[in-house]
Structure formats: C-alpha cells, structure tokens
C-alpha cells in the first residue's frame, strides 16, 4: 500500500524528512477496524513525533492521527460497525499512524462520521474535538449546560483545539468565552466560532481582562506556550480557579499556583488508548455525539486549508505550516 513516513529525524526543510513509501497492508486484530483512508488532517503531534521519535533501524515510521475513511474489514470482537461504514477517529499514538491507504484502529475509539460533512471536513475534527471535549468536561469539570456566571479563557483560540473548544464552550455550556489571538485574521476566526471576546496573547493578558467586562476568569485552557504565559495566567485567574494545559512546557513553576489555590490539570487525549483504560470507549461515544451535533447544525468543522492529495511533498508543506505557528484551524489532505 502507499504510505508516507520517515526513516530519520530531519528538519522539514530536508526533502528526506517525509518520504513516499510502499508498505505491507496492516492486519486487523480482534478489536480492530480495517479502514481505507480517504482523508487525513495534520496536528502538532505529527511534527513533534517526526522530530523526536526515531524509527527502528532499517524501518520507517508512519505519522497521522486524524482520519476519515471507510471500513473494509472488522475484527472478531468488534461490535457496532460493519463493512462499508464511513468512520472518523484520531487513532492511537502507540500504533502506526494513518498516512497510508489502509489503517487499523480499535473500534472503541472510532465513530461513524458526520453525514453532513465531506471526508476532508470530517478528517479535520477527531483529535482536536476529543482533546477539547476532555479538557472542558473531564479536566476542568464543567458540566454540560453548566458554567453559568463563570468565564473561560482559551489561550491560542484559533488553533485546532482552540477552534473546537470555543464551539463546545459556547454551544454546550453557559460559560463566557474569551479567546486569545494575535493577528486580525485569527481574531476574526475566533469571533466567528462564537467567542464572546478576543484579547491578544502577544502582550500581557491580565491587564486586557481588567480593562474589559471580565476582570478575572474562573477557568483557563492554555493550549500553547504555557511556560511563557504562566505568570500572566495566574494573575488572570480568580482564587481557586482551574488551569488546564495541553502543551509541553520545559519548566513550569507550579509554586506560582499555591497562593491562589489554583488547581492544575493536564489533558492528553492518547491516555485512554495508550493505557487501555476502562473508559476507553468514551472517546468513540463522544465522537458519535459530536457527529450528531454537527449534523444538527450545532457544531461545524474547523477545516481551514486543503493541501491536496496525501503525499510526502504535500505533507512536508503541512508540517512546515504547523511549525511556523501561523496555522489556523486544521490542514487536511485527501486521496492517494
């Protein structure tokens, strides 16, 4: 089968950083779906793995953890899916990625794709949707329909996760949603998704809040550069507030949280699949609920850029855009 992968950790400017490959087709296990991949999206995790995880000697590593495709075969222990079902999912970080014509995924973390979306539009959603959903409802502890009188600050609102988190918080809770963005086009993107207000994370955020309707916030979702923003976020949070993050700060001085009794919450959407947790199937369930909400017109795809067919050259372009820090929403590729 056709696939795109890498054999060495190289900068994305190197033509060998991602390669067009021919690899054996995967064989599904008893709990797996074998999926013919139609569209994939790229995420920051792709660039991080490419830069840091070396393949075994003589082998290639395939990336890609956002898929829309069609089921070609089901394992003996699979329930709820049939050959021909159109599905979407984010896969598992400890299994081969989906930048390939065929891919296998545990059925518990997949769902039928929204019927109202194209393959490209559906592929843009799973990883960021799961991350945003778990961050909001599981880590920050906001109840669906709850949050009345509370405020949420989303740092990096125009990125993939921020784009979904703005929608979930606005459509499914009563929170006041304040996003951050540093460019006119990303500011407007956040407002179009439903943010009540947008402030600039390129300058101190707490004073901007103090000048606005919300003086301090109850909750913060820090999606980028948490270590650089930490002092500002602590100032912006109310006493006994909650701070959730998804990035990889090099040095996080958690003692800053003590005086205000701020609680710290980490969201990593691969935890359930990586550790085969008892509630692993919750990811499939939430994707099914999101598909229902999309088809009902409550949520929308965050696809922003279509980079053409799935090949090494186009994926190198996509990785370069993510590494530039200027991507908005999601980048998707489609077809082989």
Mean pLDDT, the chain, integer = 96
In this structure, the answer to whether residues 6 and 67 fall within a common structural domain is yes
Last residue of one domain, picked from the residues 214, 232, 266: 266
Q: Alpha-carbon dihedral of residues 207, 212, 216, 221, nearest 10 degrees?
A: -90
Last residue of one domain, picked from the residues 218, 234, 266: 266
pTM over cut 0.85: yes
In this structure, the answer to whether residues 62 and 145 fall within a common structural domain is no
In this structure, the answer to whether residues 6 and 33 fall within a common structural domain is yes
In this structure, the answer to whether residues 132 and 262 fall within a common structural domain is yes
In this structure, the answer to whether residues 108 and 143 fall within a common structural domain is no
List Cβ neighbours of 109 (8 Å cut-off, separation of 6 or more).
Answer: 89, 90, 91, 92, 272, 273, 280, 281, 283, 284, 287
CATH number of the domain residue 139 falls in = 3.40.50.720
Per-residue pLDDT reduced to its tens digit, 280-328: 999 999 999 999 999 999 999 999 999 999 999 999 999 999 999 888 9
In this structure, the answer to whether residues 132 and 259 fall within a common structural domain is yes
pLDDT value of residue 116: 98
How many domains, in total, are found in the chain? 2
Q: Distance (Å, rounded) from C-alpha 254 to C-alpha 156?
A: 21
pLDDT value of residue 68: 98
Calculate helix-pair angle for 160-172, 126-133, nearest 10 degrees: 50
**Stated length of the chain:** 336
Domain of 170 in residue numbering reads as: 128-266
Q: Distance (Å, rounded) from C-alpha 166 to C-alpha 325?
A: 19
In this structure, the answer to whether residues 162 and 262 fall within a common structural domain is yes
In this structure, the answer to whether residues 32 and 55 fall within a common structural domain is yes
Q: Distance (Å, rounded) from C-alpha 331 to C-alpha 56?
A: 28
In this structure, the answer to whether residues 13 and 88 fall within a common structural domain is yes
Read off the pLDDT of each residue in 111-130 and give the average, rounded to a whole number.
98
Both tokens of 261, joined, read 């009794």
In this structure, the answer to whether residues 80 and 132 fall within a common structural domain is no
CATH number of the domain residue 23 falls in = 3.90.180.10
Per-residue pLDDT reduced to its tens digit, 185-240: 999 999 999 999 999 999 999 899 888 788 899 999 999 999 999 999 999 999 99
In this structure, the answer to whether residues 259 and 133 fall within a common structural domain is yes
Residue bearing tokens 């990811």: 283
Residue bearing tokens 């990593």: 268
Last residue of one domain, picked from the residues 234, 266, 298: 266
pLDDT value of residue 325: 87
Instruction: Choose among 227, 229, 235, 224: nearest CA to 251.
Output: 227
**Percent residues over pLDDT 90 in the chain:** 93
Q: Distance (Å, rounded) from C-alpha 177 to C-alpha 194?
A: 8
Instruction: Choose among 324, 331, 330, 336: nearest CA to 11.
Output: 324
In this structure, the answer to whether residues 190 and 237 fall within a common structural domain is yes
Q: Specify whether the CB–CB gap between 101 and 77 falls below 8 A.
A: no
């Amino acid at each position: 089968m056709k696939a795109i992968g890498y054999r060495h950790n190289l900068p994305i400017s190197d033509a060998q950083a991602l390669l067009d490959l021919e690899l054996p087709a995967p064989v599904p296990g008893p709990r797996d779906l074998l999926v013919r991949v139609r569209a994939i999206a790229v995420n920051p995790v792709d660039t991080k793995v490419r830069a840091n995880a070396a393949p075994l000697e003589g082998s290639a590593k395939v990336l890609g953890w956002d898929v829309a495709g069609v089921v070609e075969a089901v394992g003996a222990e699979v329930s709820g899916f049939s050959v021909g079902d159109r599905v979407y999912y984010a896969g598992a970080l400890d299994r081969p990625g989906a930048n390939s014509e065929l891919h296998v995924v545990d059925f518990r973390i997949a769902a039928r794709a929204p019927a109202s979306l194209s393959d490209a539009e559906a592929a843009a959603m799973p990883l960021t949707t799961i991350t945003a959903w778990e961050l909001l409802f599981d880590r920050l502890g906001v109840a669906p329909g709850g949050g009345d009188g509370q405020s949420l600050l989303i740092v990096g609102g125009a990125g993939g996760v921020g784009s979904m988190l703005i929608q979930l918080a606005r459509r499914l809770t009563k929170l006041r949603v304040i996003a951050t963005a540093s460019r006119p086009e990303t500011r407007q993107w956040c407002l179009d998704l439903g943010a009540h207000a947008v402030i600039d994370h390129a300058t101190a955020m707490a004073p901007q809040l103090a000048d606005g309707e919300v003086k301090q916030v109850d909750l913060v979702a820090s999606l980028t550069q948490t270590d650089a923003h930490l002092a500002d976020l602590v100032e912006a949070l109310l006493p006994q507030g909650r701070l959730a993050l998804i990035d990889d700060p090099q040095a996080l001085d958690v003692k800053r949280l003590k005086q205000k009794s701020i609680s710290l919450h980490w969201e990593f959407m691969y935890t359930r699949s990586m550790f085969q947790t008892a509630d692993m199937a919750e990811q499939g369930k939430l994707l099914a609920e999101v598909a229902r909400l999309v088809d009902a017109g409550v949520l929308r795809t965050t696809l922003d850029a279509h980079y053409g067919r799935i090949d090494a050259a186009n994926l190198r372009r996509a990785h370069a855009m993510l590494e530039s820090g200027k991507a908005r929403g999601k980048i998707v590729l489609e077809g082989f």
